[in-house]
């Protein structure tokens, strides 16, 4: 295991193919050191392709030079090995897990992701171009194409710089063993490389030829190479690969991300007899550079004659035969025609123009197939426009529904006609609609209903004459009627539907509700009974109303209290509505009144800012899990962030994180900070508080000063009170304690007692001097 570790740490895992060749040249089991192997490899050339970008190399030369440079790096890795025997190298070669270990090391070290970054992102356009034009082969062929392109005059400086960066990125990876010659042959790259801007590259279908579709798609999707160079590459490939239909193309070019392309379908196309025949025929033709057809020949005017020549006379595509064969077939057919034949003159002119075209474009015959395809596509497009009656070909413009032709009253009948028709009116012709109405009239047994449909047919005929046969207006009539019915139903379901329309049913429901009211029952019942009897002429209802007995006093009081509460609530609600309306109108026009003398003053800030994170009246703080704080003037969570509630933020934290943050959050909240959000893998909290203005800071400072002075004053007064006892109080106590209060007591003074008492009095009155005594 230690041997494996040393070998792979030295980088020899990148040279497993070279190590596997050593047992064929050396008997590793009998060798004592690596010196013979080093001596055998050291004679190899030291020249590097990366340092020789001024030269062009053929693919065969690169297949020799690249292994030489790989052996050079392999030799450097062998010299760095200490304590490794040749037999250990042989054991690595025989171990089936060596390649798997090397793949794992490349993935964990990041070298594989670096290669993917270069292939899928930095040089995506070049790899897609190789994929679509020549295929992803070995690196030697790709490097040879890039070297020839760098020294060519067809490319601009920016294109050459892109190609040079391709060499500088991939040549060192090939030399040091990270990439091998056939690294791109794996499914990892063949299944993903056919992508452009994170989508699968499926070419646009512009014809039956696969290469034509890729040519058009590359011109649209890629801007690395000029269109002229892309055309040249694809035309050369088209000479050998030009078979396939649109269906085959769709089935082949639908790559699956996991399994890659449908290789079975590719094998089926390769083994197809059409492919073999076209391949053999095309390989015999020389490669010619394409030249555009001059406009003065007007070859598109003879598209029908070209189609007749290909389908009736030659009976095969033009791309499968040479230009001389086309001219010969055309002349033979002209010789068989009569002079009076109307087609002979057109075909004769076509023969002359074909001769000029083949001289100009180097006998390229495929262009005639392209002319026929373009003509067919254009005529198919015109037919579609004619069928859809679009405005491009229809000179009649739409005219709105006339007022003298009402159609909304026939909405129900139009729905029945649409049901019989089986499709929308916009998809049917006026003749089909008229015929459907006639069938309904013929099947109807009700004369009144038949008359309605006849009137509808008369109005529809008048309408189609007026609006040039636009049938979609009938769909609009049905849609309008459905919307109107839905609106009426919504009005009936509203709480205040009686405001929009007072119907008899609504009025009767109001009366029925009033009859249940206990206020003024006797009088109200008599009035209601009179109204109901006048409307319904129902004597039984009047007799029932007269038999209603009055309610008791408790019920009346309860009802009155409830009515009073409802009245007060209604008045308060109206008051709030009026105040809200006055406030909103005042805010709407407050800043733009000339009479308020601030018409040109700037508007104040919105109550609800568009970007809450840019509010300058707040300052922000970021709290880490270690207790560190960072201050910011703008919201660190972004300008669009909306403050969150504390519960939703705490739910995202673990218990350990909550314990860490509790101490710091308590201190910050006492200072006015408020939690608004969290973000980051380590869950940093974001807090905010209003920015304290300069005036507020001055006021706060003055407040602290006055408070401090007051505390000091109270402290001094308290100390003075407890330290010094007043002298008159002591004398008064001494006089009361004397046995003879009427006679003064003489106190003898001992020598020396006066100065000592005076000093003690000075020491005792030290605090008195501080307190103004």
Mean pLDDT of 552-581: 89
20-29, 329-338, 598-607: least confidently modelled range: 598-607
With cut-offs at 50, 70 and 90, classify the pLDDT of residue 562. very high
Supply the Cα-derived Rg of the chain in whole angstroms: 51
Q: How would you label 144-154 residue by residue, b for 16+ Cβ within 10 Å and e otherwise?
A: bbbbebbeeee
456-470, 679-693, 752-766: least confidently modelled range: 752-766
pLDDT of residue 192: 42
Residue 608 predicted with pLDDT over 50: no
Task: Report which of 585, 589, 611, 612 is spatially closest to residue 599, judged by C-alpha positions.
Answer: 589
pLDDT of residue 249: 36
CA distance linking residue 170 with residue 164, whole number of Å: 10
pLDDT of residue 634: 87
- And the tokens for 222? 């890629």
Residues shown for the chain: 773
pLDDT of residue 691: 82
What Å distances lie between residue 105 and 98, 113, 526, 701, 706, CA to CA?
11, 12, 101, 65, 72
- Name 618's bridge partners: 690
CA distance linking residue 701 with residue 692, whole number of Å: 13
Task: Report which of 50, 15, 64 is spatially closest to residue 166, judged by C-alpha positions.
Answer: 50
Task: Report which of 217, 190, 195, 130 is spatially closest to residue 166, judged by C-alpha positions.
Answer: 130
Give yes or no for a contact between 35 and 81, defined as CB atoms under 8 angstroms apart: no
Give yes or no for a contact between 417 and 457, defined as CB atoms under 8 angstroms apart: no
CA distance linking residue 254 with residue 261, whole number of Å: 7
Within a 10 A sphere around the Cβ of 690, how many other Cβ atoms? 12
With cut-offs at 50, 70 and 90, classify the pLDDT of residue 615. low
Residue 682 predicted with pLDDT over 80: no
CA distance linking residue 606 with residue 612, whole number of Å: 11
Element spanning 675, H or E: strand 674-679
Mean pLDDT of 224-248: 44
With cut-offs at 50, 70 and 90, classify the pLDDT of residue 621. very high
pLDDT of residue 699: 82
Half-sphere exposure of 515 (CA within 13 A, CB side): 20
Rounded to 5 degrees, what are φ and ψ at 341? -65, 135
pLDDT of residue 578: 86
What Å distances lie between residue 568 and 557, 573, 579, 771, CA to CA?
16, 9, 16, 67
CA distance linking residue 127 with residue 146, whole number of Å: 11
pLDDT of residue 739: 53
Residue 483 predicted with pLDDT over 90: no
Residue 661 predicted with pLDDT over 80: yes
DSSP secondary structure of 636-668: TT-TT--PPPHHHHHHTS-HHHHHHHHHHHHHH
pLDDT of residue 373: 85
- And the tokens for 545? 């109303």
CA distance linking residue 437 with residue 439, whole number of Å: 5
Token pair 């034509």 is found at 212
Dihedral-angle region of residue 177 (phi above 0 means left; psi in -120 to 50 means alpha; beta otherwise)? left
pLDDT of residue 36: 67
Q: What is the mean pLDDT of the chain?
A: 68
Residue 245 predicted with pLDDT over 50: no
Proportion of the chain above pLDDT 70, given as a percent: 47
pLDDT in tens, 146-169: 777 777 776 777 777 888 888 778
Residue 277 predicted with pLDDT over 70: no
pLDDT of residue 493: 63
Element spanning 21, H or E: helix 16-25
Token pair 């053999």 is found at 280
Mean pLDDT of 185-194: 51
Residue 257 predicted with pLDDT over 50: no
Residue 350 predicted with pLDDT over 90: no
With cut-offs at 50, 70 and 90, classify the pLDDT of residue 571. very high
pLDDT in tens, 36-48: 666 666 655 444 4
Give yes or no for a contact between 617 and 648, defined as CB atoms under 8 angstroms apart: no
Give 751: exposed, middle or buried? Use CB within 10 Å, 0-12, 13-18, 19+: exposed
- And the tokens for 629? 């704080």
Q: Higher-confidence residue: 407 or 100?
A: 407
Angle at 179 between CA 176 and CA 180, to 5 degrees: 100
Residue 649 predicted with pLDDT over 50: yes
Provide the residue ranges of all domains of the chain, joining segments of one domain with +. Answer: 2-193, 288-388, 408-493, 502-551, 612-691, 697-731+758-773
pLDDT of residue 318: 86
Token pair 């389908």 is found at 311
Residue 563 predicted with pLDDT over 90: yes
Give yes or no for a contact between 683 and 675, defined as CB atoms under 8 angstroms apart: no
Give 380: exposed, middle or buried? Use CB within 10 Å, 0-12, 13-18, 19+: exposed
Residue 30 predicted with pLDDT over 70: no
pLDDT of residue 720: 80
What Å distances lie between residue 577 and 331, 358, 570, 573, 582, CA to CA?
96, 88, 10, 6, 9
CA distance linking residue 180 with residue 67, whole number of Å: 10
Residue 566 predicted with pLDDT over 90: yes
Residue 543 predicted with pLDDT over 70: no
Q: How would you label 440-460 residue by residue, b for 16+ Cβ within 10 Å and e otherwise?
A: bbeeeeeeeeeebbeebbebb
pLDDT in tens, 423-441: 888 888 888 888 888 888 8
Name the pTM for this structure.
0.28
DSSP 121: I
Residue 410 CB contacts under 8 Å (≥ 6 apart), including other chains: 452, 455, 456, 459, 477
CA distance linking residue 122 with residue 132, whole number of Å: 18
Residue 749 predicted with pLDDT over 50: no
CA distance linking residue 221 with residue 203, whole number of Å: 9
With cut-offs at 50, 70 and 90, classify the pLDDT of residue 369. confident
- And the tokens for 204? 């646009």
CA distance linking residue 381 with residue 523, whole number of Å: 83
């Amino acid at each position: 295991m230690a041997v494996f570790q040393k070998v792979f740490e030295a980088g020899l895992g990148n040279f497993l193919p070279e190590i596997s060749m050593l047992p064929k040249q050396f008997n590793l089991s009998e060798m004592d050191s690596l010196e013979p192997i080093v001596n055998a490899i050291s004679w190899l050339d030291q020249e590097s392709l990366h340092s020789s970008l001024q030269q062009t190399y053929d693919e065969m030369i690169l297949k020799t030079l690249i292994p030489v440079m790989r052996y050079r790096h392999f030799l450097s890795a062998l010299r760095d090995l200490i304590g490794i025997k040749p037999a250990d190298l042989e054991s690595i070669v025989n171990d089936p897990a060596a390649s798997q270990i090397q793949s794992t090391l490349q993935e964990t070290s990041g070298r594989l992701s670096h290669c993917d970054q270069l292939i899928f992102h930095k040089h995506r356009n070049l790899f897609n171009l190789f994929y679509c034009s020549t295929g992803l082969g070995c690196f030697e062929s790709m490097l040879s194409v890039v070297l020839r392109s760098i020294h060519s005059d067809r490319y601009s400086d920016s294109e050459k710089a892109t190609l040079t960066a391709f060499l500088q990125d991939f040549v060192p990876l090939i030399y040091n063993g990270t990439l091998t010659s056939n690294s791109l042959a794996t499914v990892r790259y063949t299944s993903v490389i056919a992508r452009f801007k994170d989508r699968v590259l499926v070419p646009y279908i512009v014809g039956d030829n696969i290469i034509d579709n890729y040519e058009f798609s590359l011109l649209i999707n890629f801007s690395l190479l000029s269109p002229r160079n892309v055309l040249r590459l694809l035309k050369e490939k088209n000479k050998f690969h030009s078979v396939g239909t649109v269906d085959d193309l769709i089935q082949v070019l639908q790559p699956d991300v996991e399994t890659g392309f449908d290789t079975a379908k590719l094998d089926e196309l390769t083994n197809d007899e059409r492919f073999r025949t076209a391949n053999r025929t095309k390989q015999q033709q020389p490669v010619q550079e394409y030249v555009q057809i001059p406009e003065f020949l007007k070859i598109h005017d003879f598209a029908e004659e070209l189609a007749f020549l290909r389908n009736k006379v030659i009976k095969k595509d033009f791309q499968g035969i040479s230009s001389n064969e086309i001219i010969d077939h055309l002349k033979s057919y002209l010789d068989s025609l009569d002079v009076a034949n109307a087609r002979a003159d057109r075909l004769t002119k076509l023969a002359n123009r074909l001769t000029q075209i083949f001289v100009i474009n180097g006998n390229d015959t495929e262009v005639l197939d392209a002319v026929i395809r373009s003509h067919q596509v254009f005529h198919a497009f015109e037919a579609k426009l004619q069928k859809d009656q679009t405005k491009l070909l229809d000179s009649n413009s739409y005219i709105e529904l006339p007022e003298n032709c009402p159609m909304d009253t026939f909405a129900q009948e139009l729905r029945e006609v649409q049901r019989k028709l089986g499709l929308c009116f916009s998809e049917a012709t006026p003749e089909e609609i008229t015929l459907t109405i006639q069938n309904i009239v013929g099947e109807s047994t009700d004369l009144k209903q038949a008359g309605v449909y006849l009137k509808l047919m008369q109005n529809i005929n008048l309408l189609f004459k007026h609006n040039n046969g636009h049938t979609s207006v009938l769909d609009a009539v049905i849609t309008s009627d459905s919307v109107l019915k839905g609106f009426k139903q919504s009005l009936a379901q509203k709480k205040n539907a009686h405001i929009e329309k007072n119907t008899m049913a609504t009025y009767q429901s109001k009366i029925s509700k009033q009859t249940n009211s206990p206020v003024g029952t006797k009088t109200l019942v008599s009035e209601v009974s009179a109204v109901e009897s006048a409307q319904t002429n129902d004597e039984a209802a009047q007799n029932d109303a007269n038999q209603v007995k009055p309610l008791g006093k408790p019920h009346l009081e309860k009802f009155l209290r409830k009515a009073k509460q409802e009245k007060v609530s209604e008045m308060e609600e109206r008051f709030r509505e009026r105040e809200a309306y006055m406030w909103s109108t005042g805010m709407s026009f407050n800043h733009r009144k000339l009479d308020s003398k601030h018409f040109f003053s700037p508007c104040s800030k919105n109550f609800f800012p568009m970007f809450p994170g840019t509010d300058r009246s707040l300052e922000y703080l970021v709290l880490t899990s270690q207790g560190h704080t960072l201050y910011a003037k703008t919201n660190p969570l972004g300008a669009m962030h909306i403050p969150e509630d504390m519960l939703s933020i705490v739910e995202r934290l673990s218990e350990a994180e909550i314990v860490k943050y509790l101490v710091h959050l308590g201190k910050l909240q006492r200072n006015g900070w408020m939690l608004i959000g969290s973000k980051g893998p380590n869950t940093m909290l974001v807090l905010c508080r209003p920015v304290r203005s300069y005036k507020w800071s001055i006021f706060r400072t003055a407040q602290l000063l006055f408070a401090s002075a007051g505390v000091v004053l109270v402290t001094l007064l308290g100390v003075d009170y407890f330290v010094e006892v007043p002298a008159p109080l002591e004398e008064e106590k001494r006089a009361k304690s004397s046995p003879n209060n009427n006679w003064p007591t003489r106190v003898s003074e001992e020598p020396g007692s006066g100065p000592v008492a005076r000093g003690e009095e000075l020491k005792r009155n030290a605090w008195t001097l501080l307190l103004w005594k």
